[in-house]
Amino acid sequence: MAEKVSTEKVSTDKLRPGDLVLHCGMLIRLGERETYPSRTAGRAVYRFPGTVENIDEVLRPGQATTGFLGSDGRWSVQGNDLAAWFRVVG
């Protein structure tokens, strides 16, 4: 990632469709939010199917995520209100 991006740390429940999340060097554009019940009373689990926008950079040899990410550029962001993510701002 050649350019520096500004981020803010937010929990999964604060993410919204269309947000851009920075995770393990990937810039992930979030799709529609899916909500699931949790085993813990009063907590929900959220999942956002996402598209990696910097796919060419991420799929270069030697990148940590190469083995986990298919060439389709899809990555899900998921967690509850205790999980933290870095949302791109600005």
Domains of the chain: 6-89 (2.30.30.30)
Confidence of residue 1 (pLDDT cuts 50, 70, 90): low
Question: What does 8-73 look like in DSSP terms, one character per residue?
Answer: EEEEGGG--TT-EEEETTEEEEE---EEEE-SSTT-EEEEEEEEETTHHHHTSTT-GGGGT--TT-
What's the pTM value of the predicted model, to 2 decimals?
0.86
Write the pLDDT tens digit of every residue in 28-74. 999 999 999 888 777 899 999 999 999 888 887 776 666 677 668 89
Please, are residues 22 and 7 in contact by the beta-carbon 8 Å criterion?
yes
